[in-house]
Every structure is written in structure tokens, then in C-alpha cells.
Amino acid sequence: MDDKVDDVSRDDVPAPSRRKFLAQASAAAGAMAVPPAALAENGANLPPNVPEWSRTQGRPFLSPAYGLPSPFEKDVVRVLPNPPAAFPTGTRTPLQELKGSITPNGLFFERHHANVPMIDPREHRLMVHGLVERPLIFSMSELMRLPAVNRIHFIECAGNSSAEFTRPTGKTAQEVHGLLSNAEWTGVMLSVLLREAGARPEARWLLCEGADAASMTRSVPMEKAMDDAMVVYAQNGERLRPEQGYPLRLLLPGFEGNMNIKWLRRIKLGTQPWHTREETSTYTDLMPDGTARQFTFAMEAKSCVLSPSGGQKLDVHGYHEIYGVAWSGRGRITAVEISTDAGKTWQRARLQEPVLPRALTAFRADWHWDGKPCVLQSRAIDETGFVQPTRARLIAARGTASSYHYNAIQSWNIDANGGVTHVHA
């Protein structure tokens, strides 16, 4: 199981008051003033004039029937890896463009092993068998008649940020951390299905299999299955998208993304893990001594500042609000600390509600930028006491041969011109 990196010692600095920062911002109003020309390209649309869009009839209802973002947001999209792989298998969420902790369905990251199957929900079935008293086959209509729950949880690919073990890669938060998204999920607790089938006392593991051409399979411990695991058919209020497992997927809150089997078709109960291809030749952590850690399920505490972040630019000196997200596969985030001097000193950020277990938690902090170069960082602390490690401490514990579970502190360098770039500090 996972070896935890030792806690990082903290110098807890009381968070300065918001009133103080706003007062500083007000005093610097001259520096922060933005010329009207910077607010609009067409001066005719600025007050006191009546803008062009107020003088013409708008588009009609239901055009198109499924709502779409404004055309002015056309660049807020998922992207392939940079540079794209010869056979791309995933897209990344534009984290730095999102304004809350919930990821819209159309921007939720993708990761596939054999592309996306198109499944007729009327013909899809979920089989539960193995060490059970009553092997069962559920149709979608039968599953959707069972008591449902709504839960908010993140999913993060085990390989998210993995290139950071060796070098800084990617320019933006999307390119570095974009194999991460958060949603409200609707479905049935897996424990309900296992009780209905009569799971036998000797059953300790489940083999969960998808209906894609890869027959993606992973072994899941019974403790997780009976705790908070779900079989879900809806995401953010609508049925799953095909790329998210339509019509049915497994949700294992806090566990690495590949274990949340999409297009779920089979669950088999047994006494031992199955040691499938996806948990032997891949999704293991190669250690410096040549051994490999297997079954490192939980994604450990991690955070990232999204504003300001790579690819953005600070146009004015003075007040800026630092914004980002933090998450942990081991429970709730209890604190996030911010440093603007590459980790020499830290201050507490404000956590935004809701603060939920195994879900993205937004954080904010007040900051007065004096125009000097600096390095901006965040570190998360979860309810187990685990502290997000520095990159040096993570590599000292795990080496650089692994491709999974990178959760070191992220650093953004801000130069004297306000440009923000990705660095290792």
C-alpha cells in the first residue's frame, strides 16, 4: 500500500485580515486603475452609449436545443497532451479557466484504453457473480429503480503531472494538472448490490470489468466496495457522457482514476486480487531500489494555484486574489497554505464551502503584489495530517523512475513584467 511522504514542517502564519488588504488595494487605486481602452475594443459600446447588443433582437429560445457556452468562451476547451502522443488516449481539463470546484461535463477530462464504445443502454447489463449466494444480472432500468444517492467527488488520473518527476513540463495548469476533474455523481451504493447478491463472508476482493474493447479490469478491495463505492449513471444532473462510461461506471472516491471502471459490465467476488495487466505491467510505482509498489490506490493530498498561474499575466501592481483548488483521496482538506517567496514563509488561505471528503476544495487568499519577481506556491493538508510535500522530499522518498502519484508542491514564477511561468523551485 502507499508509503506516505513525511509531513513537511510548517511555519503557521496567521492569515492577514481581508480589510487590511482591501485598504492597501484602495490606497493603490491609481496603480490599479485600468484605462477604458483596455476594457473594450469598440469604444462605441462603452458608457454612456447604448451598446450594439442592446439595440437588436437576440437569438430565439432553443437555438440550439442543448445549451452551449458563449462563442466568446470558445477557447475554454479540453486539450490533448502537449506535445500530443502518437496515439492520444486522453484530454485535459482547463482548470485555470474554471470558476468553481465543479467541472462541467463537457470539460471533464478523458482517459481511454480502447477509445469510446457506443452502448445501447437497453441492452447493457451488469453481472454480479463469484463468491455470492445469488448471482445477479441487472438491467439499467432495474439499477435505476434502486435507492439513489448524490455525491460530489473528484477523479484524478494516476499519471496526472507524472512528467514532473524529471523536468518542468507544460505551460499552464491545464497542461500540468489537467487529468483531474470534479463532479456530482448520481447512482447506487455498491454495497446495496453486494448485499442483494449475498456476498459471502470469505469474499475479500472484487474484479471489476468494463465493456470497452480493452476489457479494462481492476481488483478492488472489499473494504472500499462496502464503504463509499458507487455504481453511477449520472453526472452533474444528466446521464453520463459516452466518454465518461455511459450508461454505467464504477466510482471509487479518492482512488486513482483507472480504477473507476467505465462502461461497467461485470463484478466478480473472490478471495484474492486478480493481478491483471493493469495492476502489474502498469499502474505500479517503480522505486529507487528496483522494486515496485502495487495497489497504491489513494491519490494523496495535492493542490494547485489556478490564478495567477502559468500562461497568465498580472497587468497591474497592487491587490490580487490568489485562487486555487486542493484535494485528497484520503478525506477532507483541512488547510491550504500559500507562499509567495518559494516556500520561505507561509500564510493560511480561506477554504471555500463545501469542504467535502475526496472532493475538490477551492481556496482563496489576499495578496498585494509589489511588482517584484516572486515564486508562488500552495500546499494542502488533509484530515489525516498529511502535508503535500516539496518536490525534493517526494523524489528523495520515491525516486524519479515512477510514472504515477506525483503530488509535489507546484511552483509558478512571476517576473517583473507580471508574466507567470511554470518552474521547479
For the chain, the structural domain boundaries read 105-292, 298-423
Q: Is the peptide bond before 51 cis (omega within 30 degrees of 0)?
A: no
Phi, psi of 78 (to 5 degrees): -70, 150
- Taking the CA atoms of the chain, what radius of gyration do you get in angstroms? 24
Query: What is the rounded distance in angstroms from the CA atom of residue 263 to the CA atom of residue 212?
Result: 7
Distance, CA of 130 to chain centre: 33
Query: What is the rounded distance in angstroms from the CA atom of residue 186 to the CA atom of residue 234?
Result: 5
Phi, psi of 405 (to 5 degrees): 60, 40
- Residue 62: predicted pLDDT: 67
Superfamily of domain 105-292: Oxidoreductase, molybdopterin-binding domain (3.90.420.10)
Would you write out the chain's pLDDT as a tens digit for each of its 425 residues?
444 444 333 334 344 454 554 455 444 444 444 444 444 566 888 888 988 888 888 877 767 788 899 999 999 999 887 666 665 678 999 999 999 999 999 999 999 999 999 999 999 999 999 999 999 999 999 999 999 999 999 999 999 999 999 988 889 999 999 999 999 999 999 999 999 999 999 999 999 999 999 999 999 999 999 999 999 999 999 999 999 999 999 999 999 999 999 999 999 999 999 999 999 999 999 999 989 999 999 999 999 999 999 999 999 999 999 999 999 999 999 999 999 999 999 999 999 999 999 999 999 999 999 999 999 999 999 999 999 999 999 999 999 998 899 999 999 999 999 999 999 99
For the entire predicted model, the pTM comes to 0.88
With beta carbons less than 8 A apart as the criterion, state whether 404 and 392 touch: no
Characterize the bridge pairing of strands 333-339 and 318-327.
Answer: unpaired
Distances (CA, A) of 130 to 137, 199, 204: 12, 9, 11
Query: What is the rounded distance in angstroms from the CA atom of residue 256 to the CA atom of residue 245?
Result: 16
Query: What is the rounded distance in angstroms from the CA atom of residue 51 to the CA atom of residue 277?
Result: 60
Segments of 211-317 assigned E as strands: 217-221, 230-235, 238-239, 249-251, 264-270, 285-286, 292-293, 302-307
Tell me 262's DSSP state: B
Q: SS3 of 394, please?
A: helix
Query: What is the rounded distance in angstroms from the CA atom of residue 120 to the CA atom of residue 263?
Result: 11
With beta carbons less than 8 A apart as the criterion, state whether 379 and 8 touch: yes
Residue indicated by cell numbers 477523479? 155
Distance, CA of 342 to chain centre: 24
Query: Among 205, 208, 214, 213, which residue's Cα sits nearest to residue 230?
Result: 208
With beta carbons less than 8 A apart as the criterion, state whether 203 and 270 touch: yes
Q: At the topology level of CATH, where does 298-423 sit? A: Immunoglobulin-like (2.60.40)
Distance, CA of 76 to chain centre: 16
